Amino acid sequence: MSILKGVGVALVTPFNEDLSIDFESLTKLVEFNIDNGINYLVVLGTTAEAATLSDEEKKQVVKHIIKVNNKRLPLVLGIGGNNTLEVKKQIEETDLSAFDAVLSVSPYYNKPSQEGLYQHYKLLASTGKKIIMYNVPSRTGQNMEASTTLRLAKEFPNLCLIKEAAPNILQYFDILRKKPEGFSLVSGDDEYTLPVTLAGGDGVISVIGQGYPKEFSTMVQLAFDGKVKEAYEIHNKLVEITRLIFAEGNPCGIKAVLAEKGIIKNYLRLPLIPASDALYAKIKEEMATL
C-alpha cells in the first residue's frame, strides 16, 4: 500500500474558547502540513479527541478536511470501537469515497483474547474496505501479538497495514521480518519512527509530525534513502520535544506546540485538560532550541 508511505499525521481538532470547533485553525493546520511535506493525513484519530466529538461534529470535521485538502494528499479516516458489529456497520455506512483507508484501533476496555482480536478484524475485513489495524496497548489495555497480526495479514489482503504502537520494539521487528508481500507496518510511536523505518517499516502515523512536518518528513525520507547518519541527526534533535508532548498525555502536548506556533488555540475538551504551566514552559524552552 505504497500510497500510505512516509509521514502521516493524526490531526488534532482545534477548539475555540467556548469549545466549539475552530475551523479556521483547522484550515491553517492542514495547509501547514501540506506545505511542509507531510505524505498523508489521518482524520478523527485519538489525537483528534474524537471520543469527545458528537456525530454531527465528526461529520463537519470530515467535510472540512476533505474540502481544504482538495485531493492534494491521501486521507485516512479513523473508525474504531469496542463493539465489533457497530464498527463494521459504521464502516459499511460511511461514505469513504474521499478516503484511501480506514484506521481502526483494536477493541479497548473489553480486553479480548488473541482469538477475539483475530475474529474482530476478520469481521471488519468482510466489509471489503482497506483497513489499517492499530495496536496501541497503552490505550486499549490489550496487546495484539505479532502472531495475530501476521495471521490476519496473510489471510485478508484488505487488512493492508498495521499502525504498531506496542511498547516492545522487538514486536515491530518480528512483524517486519515475517510479513507477507504487500503488507505494511508503520510506527505508531513517534520515538520509534527512525529505527522501525530503517528496519523496513513504511514510516509513521505521527503526532509530533504535525508540529514539525518538514523536519519529520525529511528524517523519514533520509531513512528511505539509507542516509542513516543524517536521519539520526534529526531524530536526536527531536527526541526531547517528542517526549515532552506526551508527558501529560496526548494531545495536550502537541496542542501546546501548535498554539505556541500560532496555528491553533490551546483548548481541549474534558476529561483532557491543557498542559500544566510547568510542562508548557518546558515545551516553550525546548522549542526555542529547535
The catalytic residue positions are 134, 163
Burial class (CB within 10 angstroms; exposed 0-12, middle 13-18, buried 19+) of 257 = buried
Determine the length of the chain. 290
Question: Reduced to 3 states, what is the DSSP secondary structure of residue 186?
Answer: strand
Quote the Cα angle for 35-245-190, to 5°: 65
Q: What is the DSSP letter of 135?
A: E
Helices (H), the chain: 23-35, 55-69, 84-93, 114-125, 137-140, 146-155, 169-178, 193-198, 213-224, 228-245, 252-260, 277-289
Are 157 and 182 a contacting pair, CB within 8 Å? yes
Q: What is the DSSP letter of 21?
A: B
C-alpha 95/C-alpha 105 separation (Å) is: 19
Question: Reduced to 3 states, what is the DSSP secondary structure of residue 52?
Answer: helix
Q: How far is CA 272 from CA 18, 45, 79, 247, 252, in A?
A: 15, 15, 21, 13, 7
Phi, psi (rounded to 5 degrees) for 96: -105, 15
Question: Reduced to 3 states, what is the DSSP secondary structure of residue 41?
Answer: strand
